[in-house]
Amino acid sequence: MEVGKIPETILKRSVFKQIRHRRQEILVTPGVGRDCAALAAGASEAVVLSTDPITGTASEIGTLAVHITANDIASSGAEPIGILLSIILPEGTKEAELKQMMKEVESACEELDIEVMGGHTEVSRAVCQPVVTVTGVGKIERSRILSANFLKPSQELVMTKWAGLEGTAILATDKEAELRSRYPADLIENAKNMIRDISVVKEARIGRQCGVVAMHDITEGGVFGALWEIAEASSTGLVVDLKKIPVRQETIEICEFFDLNPYMLMSSGCMLMVAEHGNELSEALIKEGIPAAVIGRITAGRDRVIINEDERRYLEPPKTDELYKAYKERR
């Protein structure tokens, strides 16, 4: 298998097919397009859980680890409250590096008003760069848990921020020397600074207030991957106008340099939302300083269509994220 997410066919065949649901307390079980699990807590509340590893980069790994997991929790409609950390470091790691990582973690936690609840730290010969796995914990009333399982035709798709946000920031940081051979320093700095927009907790809060039907944070596989996953979770189709998907010029330039598709590039920091009235939701987000656009709608059937002027293409299940190609081809 290639580096990156396990392909959907293998995931269904070799992972999900082996898992049995046997506890009534488990309210949300694993599946394509499901960011979180949910556990009943008392008569009306639920604990929401999500876990994510950071493996694509070692840059600002503490910041990414916290925000990406908090984003998953927020996409379910829940309030993030804490995290558990598992930190695996390669042999020879200096204490100062661990200290900096934890400084990043604590800074991100302070920003989100959550805390580190515990975890595990070790040095291992099994890894060649730091691997941080975070389990996020949130809380919500059971009746307010959001799910993509019940989407309906005509509901609208709203996207926040810009395609390829996370991947752009990672490449600008990790590949700065290469990029400077073609692009000015200010473009690269702007791209690196996109990491400051990695959290979707604020837009999730606005989405809940505006009555969103479902939310899905856009991670590996980029916008196209997230669109497929949210449609697959509800067994629906969709139609999306490619030109309405927001993308920044920095992303276009960096993707051109590495020959990548920006719509299939890691995009943590972007949220895909489904709403009955997409324009009202996007206006509410923009009013709070969050870029947003209505990019398409849910349709009947199973066709997942991207329209680019007169051209129509059909989405396929997500493949290896474009980010990894930049490292594979230029080592």
Q: How many residues does the chain have?
A: 331
- Phi, psi at 66, each rounded to 5°: -70, -50
Q: Are residues 225 and 247 in the same domain?
A: yes
Long-range contacts of 179-185 (CB under 8 A, 24+ apart): 179/254, 179/257, 182/257, 183/253, 183/254, 183/257
Q: Are residues 64 and 179 in the same domain?
A: no
Residue 169 near residue 191 (C-beta atoms within 8 A)? yes
State pTM to two decimals.
0.88
Exposed, middle or buried, 96 (CB in 10 Å: 0-12/13-18/19+)?
exposed
Domain annotation covers residue 296: yes
Domain that holds residue 74: 24-144
pLDDT at residue number 8: 77
Question: Among 125, 144, 163, where does a domain finish?
Answer: 144
Question: Among 144, 169, 197, where does a domain finish?
Answer: 144
Question: Among 104, 128, 144, where does a domain finish?
Answer: 144
Q: Are residues 135 and 216 in the same domain?
A: no
Strand arrangement of the beta sheet that strand 79-90 belongs to: 26-28, 37-41, 45-54, 131-141, 79-90, 115-124
Q: Are residues 310 and 177 in the same domain?
A: yes
pLDDT at residue number 86: 95
Q: Are residues 135 and 170 in the same domain?
A: no
Exposure pattern of 225-264 as b/e (b: 16+ CB <10 Å)?
A: bbbbbbbbbbebbbbbbbeebbbbebbebbbebbebebbb
pLDDT at residue number 274: 97
CATH number assigned to the domain comprising residue 199: 3.90.650.10
d(CA 103, CA 60): 10
Q: Are residues 130 and 166 in the same domain?
A: no
Helix (H, G, I), strand (E, B) or coil at 237: strand
Domain annotation covers residue 279: yes
Task: Tell me the residue type at 13.
Answer: R
- Looking at the structure of the chain, the number of domains it has is 2
Q: How far apart are the first and last CA of the chain?
A: 19
Domain annotation covers residue 16: no
pLDDT in tens, the chain (331 residues): 777 777 778 888 888 888 888 888 888 877 776 778 888 988 889 999 999 888 766 678 889 899 999 999 999 999 999 999 999 999 999 999 999 999 999 999 999 999 999 999 999 999 988 999 999 999 999 888 887 777 999 999 999 999 999 999 999 999 999 999 999 999 999 999 999 999 999 999 999 999 999 999 999 999 999 999 999 989 999 999 999 999 999 999 999 999 999 999 999 999 999 999 999 999 999 999 999 999 999 999 999 999 999 999 999 988 889 999 998 754 4
